Amino acid sequence: MTDSAPAASATPPILLFAVGNPSRGDDALGPLLLARLADAASPTLEMLTDFQLQIEHTLDLRQRRLVLFVDASVAPGPALRLTRLHPARERAYTSHALAPAALLKLYREIHDAAPPACFQLAIAGHQFALGAPLSGQAEANLRHAERLVRGLLQRPEPDEWISASHAATEITEGPPP
């Protein structure tokens, strides 16, 4: 009789990674989106949330096929912006937080391998004060983001997400409620 070790659990090929602080108004958009997508959980999908990206998060990218970073945006522009990411050097130096593209560059340097196909979904936010509630416009943008991501999860291929990124930039904000 031979003993066999239990099979190691496989890393899900798709990662949704939300960045944001639930205590800072619209900065909660990323974590709130993942909470709304909880019913989409499956063996092929993992969802993670953190306040900011750090060098240690390169480990979370290993063995993935697709990664979507979700974060609130303070930049003017459309309600949603879905962008294909490529490794890039960080413009400012800090050891406490990284942009997703900088995390990909570190991944390539640390693991001596190309990172998985990565995208960033920026959801427009409007108020970020400590203790502020989610703004009405951010709530509307969150609903758009949920529909978009549910659609992406139905088509989990990089080429499909690239196509969606072109369409997503056309989603603009309506008038504030």
Cα→Cα distances 82→70, 131, 137, 152, Å: 9, 28, 18, 11
CA distance 11 to 14: 9
Q: Compute the CA torsion angle 32, 36, 38, 44 (nearest 10 deg).
A: -90
According to DSSP, residue 131 is labeled T
**pLDDT by residue (tens digit) across 84-134?**
999 998 765 555 578 999 999 999 999 999 999 999 999 999 999 999 999
**pLDDT by residue (tens digit) across 67-78?**
999 999 998 889
**pLDDT by residue (tens digit) across 5-44?**
444 568 999 999 999 999 999 999 999 999 999 999 899 9
* CATH 3.10.180.10, domain 14-168, yes or no: no
Domain boundaries, the chain: 14-168
* Range in 38-47, 81-90, 163-172 the model is least confident about: 163-172
- Per-residue confidence band for 169, with pLDDT thresholds at 50, 70 and 90: low
Cβ pair 141, 173 in contact under 8 A = yes
pTM of the model: 0.87
Cβ pair 142, 36 in contact under 8 A = yes
